[in-house]
Amino acid sequence: MSTDTAPRPTFVLRRNRGLFITACLAPALLLVGVFTYYPMIRGGVISFQNYTLFDLSDTGFIGWGNFEKVLAEPGFWTALANTGIWVLFSLTGQFVLGFGLALLLQKAFRGRGLYQALVFFPWAMSGFLIGLIWRWMFNAEFGVVNDLLLRMGIVDAPIAFLASPEWAQTGQIIANVWYGVTFFSIMILAALQSVPQELHEAARLDGASYAQALWRVVIPFIRPTLVLVVLLRVIWILNFPDIIYAMTDGGPAGKTHIITTYMINKIIGAQDYGQASAVGLIVLVLLFAFTVFYLAATRLEKSRDF
């Protein structure tokens, strides 16, 4: 009788294996839940509350009030437009220069290892530090950029790049391009090195020039990588306030804010966590839209055979 009621060995083995896997995953799941999902959910709740540090006596729910206030501010739309410019020009510059550097680094030459280390070094630096360096370089009084322009006779007087509404965002984009070129170089170089040598040889036998082989053979082969890298970088640039905050803090007069620095300014400047959370939720929706596009493109590329 005792033999019939005892759990079968297979069931016990599966249960113990399940408990073991659960125990292994529990710390990671706990950390992700506490440090990622809980703040996200809490921020979503706060976005519907009147949550400002200037008056914590009334933090009740106000519905869509925070969203209505944010969307009614001209500064929000300026930041949103700046975000589009910031992403478009930063991405284009980083991709073009990164692709070119990857092509150069693919070829063997003396000192290539040292050159690769110099190219990849900026990626190991803090974005905020990069912003401080470029802030010094664009300084109107003792910056390197103005000094070079004056010596070459391009300008007659120093330009206050970061104090000018016309030039400030251009300076930020230049700094971001310089910082992000490394990412594209690393990823595209890895993709280029994965192209089989047989494809290059077949292109040469067919009489294809270097440009034709690149356009008709290499780029189609690494196209899935390019699609993924570009979409990932779009998300990162959209959510990358470090350089802007270090260089101009959104100035002059808030003209260079992107949506993420605008959100940070709501916290540090206005102390309004409710409106900041509302902006954060809007950013989340924008990033989700990019993610959907990213996943759709990934499936599209997987369905293709080279």
DSSP structure string for 237-292:
HHT--HHHHHHTTT-STTTT--HHHHHHHHHHTS-BHHHHHHHHHHHHHHHHHHHH
- The total domain count for the chain is 1
Give Cβ neighbours of residue 80 (< 8 Å, ≥ 6 apart): 259
Look-up of token digits 């300084």:
139
Amino acid in position 226: L
What is the pLDDT confidence band of residue 93, given thresholds at 50, 70 and 90?
A: very high
* DSSP state for residue 229 in the 8-state scheme: H
Instruction: Convert the pLDDT of each residue in 259-292 to its tens digit.
Output: 999 999 898 888 899 999 999 999 989 888 877 8
Average pLDDT, the chain: 86
Q: How many CB atoms lie within 10 A of CB 194?
A: 10
Whether 125 is covered by a domain: the verdict is: yes
Look-up of token digits 């016990």:
12
pLDDT at 262: 92
CA distance 104 to 259: 36
Whether 6 is covered by a domain: the verdict is: no
Q: How many CB atoms lie within 10 A of CB 183?
A: 19
Whether 93 is covered by a domain: the verdict is: yes
Query: 76 vs 12, which has greater pLDDT?
Result: 76
Whether 198 is covered by a domain: the verdict is: yes
Whether 80 is covered by a domain: the verdict is: yes
Provide mean pLDDT across the span 65-94: 93
Provide mean pLDDT across the span 287-299: 77
Q: How many CB atoms lie within 10 A of CB 171?
A: 23
CA distance 177 to 162: 16
Give Cβ neighbours of residue 73 (< 8 Å, ≥ 6 apart): none
Instruction: Convert the pLDDT of each residue in 120-178 to its tens digit.
Output: 777 788 888 999 999 999 988 888 999 999 999 888 888 888 888 888 999 999 999 99
Whether 36 is covered by a domain: the verdict is: no
pLDDT at 5: 58
Whether 45 is covered by a domain: the verdict is: no
Query: 140 vs 30, which has greater pLDDT?
Result: 30
CA 275 to chain CA centroid, nearest Å: 23
pLDDT at 1: 47
* Vertex 227 angle, CA 223 and 232, to 5°: 150
The answer to whether residues 288 and 67 touch, using CB atoms and an 8 Å cutoff, is no
DSSP structure string for 45-78:
HHTTB--BTTBTT---B-TTHHHHHHHT-HHHHH
Whether 51 is covered by a domain: the verdict is: no
Q: Assign 19 to helix, strand or coil.
A: helix
Is the pTM higher than 0.85? no
The domain in which residue 154 lies consists of: 75-302
Residue 287's CATH number: 1.10.3720.10
pLDDT at 6: 60
263: tokens are 């959100």
Backbone angles phi, psi at 266, to 5 degrees: -65, -35
Instruction: Convert the pLDDT of each residue in 233-244 to its tens digit.
Output: 888 898 888 899
